[in-house]
């Protein structure tokens, strides 16, 4: 089988296709023929060496995928040959909050990831995606989709009449837009691209702010949200956007701190957190139970993920470069077969 491996060092120039022996499932394990993988900014940071400079190499990259079960090891009861499954990004995290061990069991980092033609996984660490989704759409669910779902519904309880601020138009942001609209919320999107804002409005966003024209967008967002601010900020920009996000959120609102696009952190003033009693909620993807709840919501709403582009396996370096460029609208995929 072929895998996408980071072997000799960090950097996109060290991403390579490598032949490995086909794996065999052990007890309670599935052998999955992976059809499509989806990239996340985390994968870019891991490949560059900024996510964890001490990460032991070699490592198979990738944290999201969808595939078909082709063989079941002894004792398997949850799935059968021929079923379509998606791996859980944090292996072994099935329910409840993360533990101190959770971060050590994430695909494409401490564990070999999903950019592989064949993948062995415990039957407890996969989820059945909705049947109506294409393989490209289903591959995007496990990281960006679960993250957005938890931000909106497990930590903020977003519903009709509430206001949500979405930063950018990447994978998590587009899931947040679609899911918030499905729940009846009002959505504001900020983006550096006017063309992407037009597309976000076409998808149901109520307002868009072009941050290349309005650099200090926190107060304008607050005004669009009735003068008080939004109920939830889906914060993916980290140090580059946190100060404006704190201006945009209402007193008593929630700031879902998901990630960061820069590869460095600086700390804005936290005075607004205290003075306005803002709840800052960190979100580390989610357990299998959240993925399953997310899949049930998709079945009910028929929301379809936004896939920008799918690359061939032989174009995987180009896929990483495109993901890193920030030009994608929604998710970037890699077809493995």
Per the prediction, the chain carries an average pLDDT of 95
Q: Which of the four pLDDT bands, split at 50, 70 and 90, describes residue 238?
A: confident
Q: Is the pLDDT of residue 277 over 50?
A: yes
Residues 55-111 have pLDDT tens digits of 999 999 999 999 999 999 999 999 999 999 999 999 999 999 999 999 999 999 999
Given a contact cutoff of 8 angstroms between Cβ atoms, the answer to whether 61 and 113 are in contact is: yes
If you average pLDDT over residues 193-199, what whole number do you get? 97
Q: Which of the four pLDDT bands, split at 50, 70 and 90, describes residue 263?
A: very low
Query: Residue 125's pLDDT is what?
Result: 98
Q: What distances in angstroms separate CA 114 from CA 38, 188, 243, one per listed residue?
A: 9, 33, 35
Query: Residue 262's pLDDT is what?
Result: 46
Q: What is the rounded end-to-end Cα distance, in angstroms, of the chain?
A: 11
Q: How far apart are CA 88 and CA 119, in angstroms?
A: 13
Residues 22-41 have pLDDT tens digits of 999 999 999 999 999 999 99
Sequence-separated (6 or more) residues with CB below 8 Å from residue 71: 24, 25, 30, 31, 81
Percent with pLDDT over 70 in the chain: 98
User: What SS3 class is residue 152?
Assistant: helix
The closest of 304, 323, 263, 258 to 285, measured between CA atoms, is 258
All structural domains of the chain: 2-143+286-335 (3.90.180.10), 156-282 (3.40.50.720)
Query: Residue 212's pLDDT is what?
Result: 94
Given a contact cutoff of 8 angstroms between Cβ atoms, the answer to whether 245 and 230 are in contact is: no
Q: Is the pLDDT of residue 19 over 70?
A: yes
The closest of 268, 214, 219 to 241, measured between CA atoms, is 268
Q: How far apart are CA 234 and CA 177, in angstroms?
A: 10
For the ranges 129-138, 189-198, 213-222, 251-260, which has the lowest average pLDDT?
251-260
Residues 294-311 have pLDDT tens digits of 999 999 999 999 999 999
How many CB atoms sit inside 10 A of residue 21's CB? 7
Q: Is the pLDDT of residue 260 over 80?
A: no
Given a contact cutoff of 8 angstroms between Cβ atoms, the answer to whether 156 and 175 are in contact is: no
The closest of 190, 260, 239, 251 to 218, measured between CA atoms, is 190
Q: How far apart are CA 168 and CA 178, in angstroms?
A: 13
Q: Is the pLDDT of residue 272 over 90?
A: no
Q: How far apart are CA 147 and CA 132, in angstroms?
A: 21
Q: Work out whether the CA dihedral 217, 223, 229, 230 comes out positive or negative.
A: negative
Q: Which of the four pLDDT bands, split at 50, 70 and 90, describes residue 265?
A: low
| HEC profile of 136-148 | HHHHCHHHHHHHH
Q: Work out whether the CA dihedral 93, 96, 102, 108 comes out positive or negative.
A: positive
Query: Residue 268's pLDDT is what?
Result: 75
Percent with pLDDT over 90 in the chain: 92
Q: Which of the four pLDDT bands, split at 50, 70 and 90, describes residue 337?
A: confident
Sequence-separated (6 or more) residues with CB below 8 Å from residue 57: 6, 7, 8, 9
Q: How far apart are CA 198 and CA 61, in angstroms?
A: 33
């Amino acid at each position: 089988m072929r895998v996408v491996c980071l072997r000799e060092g960090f950097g996109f120039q060290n991403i390579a296709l490598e032949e490995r022996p086909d794996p065999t499932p052990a007890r309670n394990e599935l052998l999955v023929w992976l059809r499509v993988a989806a990239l996340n900014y985390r994968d870019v940071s891991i490949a560059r060496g900024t996510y964890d400079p001490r990460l032991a190499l070699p490592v198979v990259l990738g944290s999201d995928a969808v595939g078909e079960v082709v063989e079941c090891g002894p004792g398997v009861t949850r799935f059968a040959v021929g079923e379509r499954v998606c791996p859980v990004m944090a292996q072994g995290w099935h329910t409840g909050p993360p533990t101190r061990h959770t971060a050590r069991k994430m695909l494409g980092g401490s564990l070999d990831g999903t950019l592989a033609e064949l993948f062995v996984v415990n039957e407890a660490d996969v989820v059945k995606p909705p049947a109506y989704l294409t393989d490209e759409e289903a591959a995007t669910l496990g990281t960006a989709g679960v993250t957005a779902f938890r931000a909106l519904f497990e930590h903020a309880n977003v519903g009709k009449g509430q206001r949500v601020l979405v930063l950018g138009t990447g994978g998590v942001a587009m899931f947040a837009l679609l899911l918030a609209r499905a729940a009846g919320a009002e959505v504001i999107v900020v983006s550096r691209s006017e063309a992407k804002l037009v597309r976000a409005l076409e998808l149901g966003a109520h307002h868009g702010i072009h941050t290349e024209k309005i650099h200090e967008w926190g107060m304008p967002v607050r005004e669009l949200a009735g003068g008080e601010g939004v109920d939830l900020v889906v914060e993916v920009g980290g140090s580059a956007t946190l100060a404006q996000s704190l201006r945009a959120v209402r007193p008593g609102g929630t700031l879902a701190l998901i990630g960061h696009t820069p590869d460095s952190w600086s700390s804005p003033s936290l005075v607004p957190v205290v003075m306005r009693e803002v709840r800052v909620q960190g979100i580390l993807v989610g357990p299998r139970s959240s993925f399953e709840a997310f899949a049930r919501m998709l079945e009910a709403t028929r929301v379809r993920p936004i896939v920008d582009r799918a690359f061939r396996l032989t174009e995987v370096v180009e896929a990483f470069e495109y993901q890193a460029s920030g030009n994608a609208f929604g998710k970037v995929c890699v077809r493995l077969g």
